[in-house]
Structure 1
């Protein structure tokens, strides 16, 4: 039999599905009470409903709830060890500890957050890595304690689809507490569409196991499939284990754990993010299908941000003091600085990772924004600070200097009327740059004893949730001239250098130059694309503009001498790398032994690893490219080796 719980307008109704209709019992019946009668009692109730239904409701006209809307308790198990192996491979090694082969894994899930098979599901507040796991569930009929596996299997009164909605980033963060699951697994759990009795599923038995084909899809695209008979631990075994010294009760629910490949996490690879379809977002429709158990179909919905909690001081934390000591043309303080009669710079000390600068160019009744920032709160703060100016001179255009997230992630906060421009190379690269959701996970993931603290120190204070990258509306190749409220604004793409395209914005009337990440002042440049010689040539072009005021992508506002300093660093690295290559050193050896001279005092000196790597690739074009995360790990090792643990 297939049992359902459905809305009647005056409470829940319960009935048996037959011939496309629900044959309902009298009002007041509850499936959680009926399952306690055992197999025979539940069968008798179903036969009564079929013979003398209180009402007959077309199945398609009913709004189904979870078969048991409020289970007595709910445990999620891990019957499929391949699922766990696949999850572990996301961070590297997929080897399981011996204990996984000794006892079954399970934890208590939130039995008060059960939703029906077609209900919307809200993203866990604060999560950017929202996922779903396709499982099946066994429901306990008559309970018992200290059951053998055979007895435990006999206590299963029926099966249903079980969807475990998971906030992977919260789960990663909370795993560091080492006390079990918490808010990462505290959101919705779907049960439905019906509870199917074991005798109904006998055609699917294969060698004594339920062999149900399953399939999971997002927006019609299948991302996982498998069969339920691939389990390493049976329901009988995990229920027996759970019953040790504990009395199981009617309506207790046991999830099977994810059927391998049927969650997004198993398909995520930090080393190949571009191949990943992405985490669940507002509006995604998730469909889960299981032979004999039916299909669920649910829409994912955004949720309000969580109320923030202040961090507690860590008495064991080592104090960090980063000071950008580069000469500054204006006071190097956070906020909006007027740099000419018509131009402003938004400055974020100390200029390190994600602490980028932006700009505002005003004309008569219009203005142009140079870049947004790395997260939405930072960009909101900047735009709010600019509002006294932009109320009189509304932003009509925005120019992206390059593709990195710390210059584009806030684009979505601009009005739809704002035309966003970028070089074609920037527009292309934005489709392949590190997605914000990866940064969400990097902040909380365990990446090993060296890379973990390195990443958390640099990325831990940013909020990468809620970002939807808005791409340029218009592109250009090498040059473009705009009229912003009667002012000439020149856009010059001087890349590839830092990235595949690097645009500077020059204002002939005031002489101001916004240099983007072609300039890092007091902090170390990083060559993601190169060639380095082209970056040096870009410096020469910027110097030739003779701009009295230069706004770098990172660091304090400067002048042509600041450009010359960056040029000198790049020349020094070129010479050091070429000399090491001529000696036959590997690029790792070259990075380990490089003489940075006075440049060692610049912030984030570990970026020399990437810079030497790029020069070696220029010298040996056939050498394989390394993933960005691998380069980050090498920077962390270089940093730690010099006593910056």
Structure 2
């Protein structure tokens, strides 16, 4: 099934529903997508059957699709070697893939409060000039778990959606010199959409090793800049869920991004390979469209946020003087 969150002029609040062809059937208005995910795919099938008998379908053209869910958390992995190599060259000038990358499917947490849906403008920070997209697929967790094995994690997959991990590369490059995460280079926006495709719909696209054999592509203003197979990742989504839960916990509604695909899945990878910003950074007004086979397409237009207040200056202290105070 394709499950969407949408609004319409006659609805008081956003509604979850099942997308069939070019229509959507609404579930009861008090349900959120996290409620549906927690109930499971079988329950979602029953909700869809009830919706078919309760009301006529709405044309998709008559509703506004929103981000399919409000995530409990968002982890973004980095599972494509080609992406790692290219972006390292672009962001910090280093070549190659770090040895530690091969040890585990590494991730960072990004902001679950700045989620965008289809056709929303992307408010890049006013100070940013190196605006970038990132073409990813995300898995939506359907059940909680701690220190799961990879086989166990299979039962925790509710479905998949497209993810655009928007990136302010100049801010990212500066802040990562502190040896933490991308911080304000990523904090401002992440797109999810256009809907969630439940796991059973894509089972026939899993290869012998459990990878999803789906083509992913990205266009800017109608021109394709990148294309890669999702199956070129170094780890499966089940391995990502298992690692996220290791000595920790995953919850229903958690979103785990695959990391950016290779072969032009983002501009920074191409910049690193070319040694210059070619193709150029995104400009205000540019339309970015991500398409993933078996899931769909999601588009957003680049915009610029209003300038924020200035950053508070650091308080500098002489370490020697600080030690004197401690005495």
Q: What is the TM-score with the length of structure 1 in the denominator?
A: 0.47
Measure how far apart 1:308 and its partner are. 1.9
Measure how far apart 1:89 and its partner are. 2.7
**Which residue of structure 1 lines up, in the alignment, with residue 36 of structure 2?**
34
Per mean C-alpha deviation after superposition, the further-off stretch among 191-200 and 78-87 is: 78-87
How many angstroms apart in 2 are the aligned matches of 1:194 and 1:57? 16
**Which residue of structure 2 lines up, in the alignment, with residue 266 of structure 1?**
269
SS at match of 1:254: strand
How many angstroms apart in 2 are the aligned matches of 1:113 and 1:268? 27
With a CA cutoff of 8 Å and minimum separation of 6, indicate the structure with the bigger relative contact order: 2
- Give the superposed CA RMSD: 1.9
SS at match of 2:297: strand
Pair 1:138–1:45, CA change in 2 (3 A): same
How many angstroms apart in 1 are the aligned matches of 2:74 and 2:314? 33
How many angstroms apart in 2 are the aligned matches of 1:296 and 1:230? 22
**Which residue of structure 2 lines up, in the alignment, with residue 291 of structure 1?**
293
**Which residue of structure 1 lines up, in the alignment, with residue 18 of structure 2?**
16
Mapped contact 2:125–2:305 kept (Cα < 8 A): yes
The correspondence of residues 536-555 of structure 1 with structure 2, limited to 5 A, is none
**Residue 4 (structure 1) aligned with residue 4 (structure 2):** yes
- TM-superposition CA deviations, 1:199-222 (whole Å, max 9, x none): 212342332321110111111111
- TM-superposition CA deviations, 1:554-596 (whole Å, max 9, x none): xxxxxxxxxxxxxxxxxxxxxxxxxxxxxxxxxxxxxxxxxxx
**Which residue of structure 2 lines up, in the alignment, with residue 560 of structure 1?**
none
Measure how far apart 1:185 and its partner are. 1.0
SS at match of 1:206: coil
- TM-superposition CA deviations, 1:34-69 (whole Å, max 9, x none): 1001232223223322x324452101221100110x
The correspondence of residues 155-174 of structure 1 with structure 2, limited to 5 A, is 155-174=156-175
How many angstroms apart in 1 are the aligned matches of 2:311 and 2:211? 48
Pair 1:109–1:35, CA change in 2 (3 A): same
The correspondence of residues 44-123 of structure 1 with structure 2, limited to 5 A, is 44-49=46-51, 51-68=52-69, 70-90=70-90, 91-123=92-124
How many angstroms apart in 1 are the aligned matches of 2:248 and 2:46? 29
How many angstroms apart in 1 are the aligned matches of 2:186 and 2:169? 8
How many angstroms apart in 1 are the aligned matches of 2:186 and 2:25? 35
**Residue 196 (structure 1) aligned with residue 197 (structure 2):** yes
**Which residue of structure 1 lines up, in the alignment, with residue 238 of structure 2?**
236
Measure how far apart 1:107 and its partner are. 1.0
How many angstroms apart in 1 are the aligned matches of 2:8 and 2:29? 9
What residue ranges of structure 2 are gaps of 5+ in the alignment?
319-327
**Which residue of structure 1 lines up, in the alignment, with residue 304 of structure 2?**
302
Pair 1:162–1:45, CA change in 2 (3 A): same
Measure how far apart 1:6 and its partner are. 0.3
How many angstroms apart in 1 are the aligned matches of 2:54 and 2:147? 38
The correspondence of residues 45-444 of structure 1 with structure 2, limited to 5 A, is 45-49=47-51, 51-68=52-69, 70-90=70-90, 91-207=92-208, 208-260=210-262, 261-269=264-272, 272-273=275-276, 276-309=278-311, 311-312=313-314
How many angstroms apart in 1 are the aligned matches of 2:133 and 2:304? 15
What residue ranges of structure 1 are gaps of 5+ in the alignment?
317-645
TM superposition outliers: structure 1 runs of 4+ over 4 Å: 269-272, 313-316
Mapped contact 2:86–2:271 kept (Cα < 8 A): no
Q: What is the TM-score with the length of structure 2 in the denominator?
A: 0.90
Measure how far apart 1:313 and its partner are. 6.7
How many angstroms apart in 1 are the aligned matches of 2:3 and 2:273? 43
Mapped contact 1:26–1:54 kept (Cα < 8 A): no
SS at match of 2:133: strand
SS at match of 2:166: strand
Number of corresponding residues? 313
Measure how far apart 1:92 and its partner are. 4.2
**Which residue of structure 2 lines up, in the alignment, with residue 320 of structure 1?**
none
SS at match of 1:144: coil
